Structure 1
Amino acid sequence: MEVESKELTFEEGIEHLERIVRELEQKEVPLEQALNLFKQGIELVQNSNNLLDHAEKQMQILLEDPNGELEIRPADFPVEG
């Protein structure tokens, strides 16, 4: 059930991560399979974080400067948690 996370969209990565979590919540998962699923989950989380970071860098906000003209500034979002 290994998936190349670099080829997944954010949404696909989250869906796959949710499937992994559901599978890990089952108590009948053998240890070796659970460790492999956990590793895949970590890779998916890292990939999703990278996609979010990249998207945040691409976002821009139009703001009005002191002269009343619009200027483009990079988005600056506070990180919570």
Structure 2
Amino acid sequence: MTLQELGHRYGLHPNVISNWRKQALTEMPNIFERSNKKSAEDREVEAREESMLKTIGQQKIEIDFLKKKYRQLYGRDPQ
């Protein structure tokens, strides 16, 4: 149907329908985009945090191991 036919059928001015169409075409990608989609920057920050937490965990294990060996060698806790 033409804009004039749609306007007559629904009681709207053809310019209103034209403006709605333009708005719909520009906003459609945003409407159907996943809201929980992460940006590249967010993924980079999460990867950096995960790497840091992994390093901290590894260091904790190494420190605990060294404390245990120190106690075995010297019979007391390290200062």
| Bucket of the pairwise TM-score, normalised by the shorter protein | 0.3 to 0.5
Q: Which has the higher strand share?
A: 1
TM-score by structure 1 length?
0.40
Q: Which has the higher helix share?
A: 2
Compare CA radii of gyration and give the structure with the larger one. Answer: 2
